[in-house]
């Protein structure tokens, strides 16, 4: 049994990670983004038997003092707290630097001070930008095409530097496009499913030609845990958590239509389009390093994952509940 700190614990991936680690019997210290109404994010929906194993603490990773206090007695850190919405990063890039870069520095400094055994830092496939070669391995050039991606490149570099400079054991988990229950509707797959399940007569999307490497949440969580349990030679390395398969947004939409049994025309919504030079046209993971070192590979087919996500979303569309817990 370990004492584990998870930042960003109330969000999509963070809440699933908390749930799985608590289910395995660990003591979980869950840092959730502070809101005046004291929201616990998605952790509020976990069964009581699991919530009893989770210490939920509201806060903000930009507060270095708080991060230091929460780090005391911790064996392992999963750092997921971040501002993640790409569209908003065009409007408020400084906010992304403050949370994603300065916040990461605060976590690394505290982990170093308290002798934490390992920090699993969360990256994103967006750091690669549009693929220059496929499949994308971890040595692919980093070419951020949005302020969000730039902030994550900087945060990744900070994590690597603390391993190189101070010997802090850090592993970078680089998930490709994760989807599943609890994901905000601003992400592409729940956007598609929400419109279809709500009975829309047309499907409003942005660009449909770009391809993505889609991964079900349970597989991504398993990848994070594999990063934490990896041998020492994993320290300082990044690991792609991706399926090795790509699908265009348009084809993804038609796959969702088949899953829910509705077919409607796709209409371009210009408000959903990224600036032309900012669109990432192709993402396809090479996961060989994760397979070889972490003994990890995804197990859920896209069709099964979409079916599970659609079933969870039924009954939630009217209240729009999933958009409340975006971070």
Q: Is residue 210 part of a domain?
A: no
What is the block-wise mean pLDDT of the chain (327 residues), using blocks of 10 residues? Answer: 95 98 96 85 93 95 98 98 93 97 98 98 97 97 97 98 98 98 93 95 95 98 98 98 97 97 94 87 97 98 97 75 36
Q: Is residue 228 part of a domain?
A: yes
Encode 162-195: b = buried (16+ Cβ within 10 Å), e = exposed: bbeeeebbbbbbbbbbbbbbbbbbbbbbbbbbbb
Tell me how far the alpha carbon of residue 38 is from its chain's centroid: 22
CATH of the domain at 42: 3.40.50.720
- Cα–Cα distance measured from residue 198 to residue 133, given in angstroms and rounded to the nearest whole number: 38
pLDDT on residue 277: 87
pLDDT on residue 85: 87
Provide the domain limits for residue 129. Answer: 3-184+215-244+285-300
Per-residue model confidence as pLDDT tens digits over 179-218:
999 999 889 999 999 999 999 999 999 999 999 999 999 9
Q: Is residue 259 part of a domain?
A: no
Q: Is residue 268 part of a domain?
A: no
- The domain tally of the chain equals 1
pTM for this entry: 0.94
Q: Is residue 49 part of a domain?
A: yes
pLDDT on residue 38: 78
Q: Is residue 118 part of a domain?
A: yes
DSSP 138: T
Q: Is residue 320 part of a domain?
A: no
Cis peptide before 135 (omega within 30 of 0): yes
Annotated active-site positions, please? 148
User: Residue 299's CB: how many other CB atoms inside 10 A?
Assistant: 11
pLDDT on residue 273: 87
């Amino acid at each position: 049994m370990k004492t584990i700190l998870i930042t960003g614990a109330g969000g999509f991936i963070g809440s699933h990670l908390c749930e799985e680690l608590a289910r395995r019997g660990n003591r979980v210290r869950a840092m959730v983004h502070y809101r005046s109404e004291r929201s616990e994010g998605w952790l509020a929906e976990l069964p009581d038997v699991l919530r009893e194993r989770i210490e939920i603490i509201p806060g903000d990773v930009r507060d270095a003092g708080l991060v230091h206090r929460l780090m005391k007695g911790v064996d392992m850190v999963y750092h997921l707290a971040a501002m993640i919405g790409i569209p908003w990063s065009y409007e408020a890039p400084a906010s992304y630097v403050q949370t994603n870069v300065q916040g990461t520095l605060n976590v690394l400094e505290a982990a170093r001070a308290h002798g934490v055994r390992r920090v699993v830092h969360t990256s994103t496939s967006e750091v690669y930008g549009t693929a220059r070669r496929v499949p994308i391995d971890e040595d692919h050039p980093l070419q951020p095409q949005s302020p969000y991606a730039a902030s994550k490149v900087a945060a990744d570099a900070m994590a690597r530097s603390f391993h190189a400079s101070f010997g802090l054991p850090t592993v970078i988990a680089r998930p490709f496009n994760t989807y599943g229950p609890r994901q905000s509707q601003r992400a592409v797959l729940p956007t598609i499913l929400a419109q279809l399940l709500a009975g829309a007569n047309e499907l409003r999307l942005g660009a449909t030609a770009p391809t993505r490497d889609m991964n079900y949440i349970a597989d991504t969580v398993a990848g994070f845990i594999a990063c934490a349990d990896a041998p020492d030679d994993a320290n300082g390395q990044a690991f792609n958590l991706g399926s090795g398969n790509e699908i265009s947004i348009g084809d993804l939409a038609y796959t969702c239509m088949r899953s829910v049994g509705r077919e409607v025309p796709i209409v371009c919504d210009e408000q959903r389009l990224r600036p032309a030079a900012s669109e990432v046209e192709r993402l396809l993971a090479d996961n060989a390093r994760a397979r070889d070192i972490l003994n990890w590979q995804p197990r859920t087919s896209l069709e099964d994952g979409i079916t599970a996500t659609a079933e969870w979303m039924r009954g939630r569309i009217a209240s729009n509940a999933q958009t409340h817990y975006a971070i």
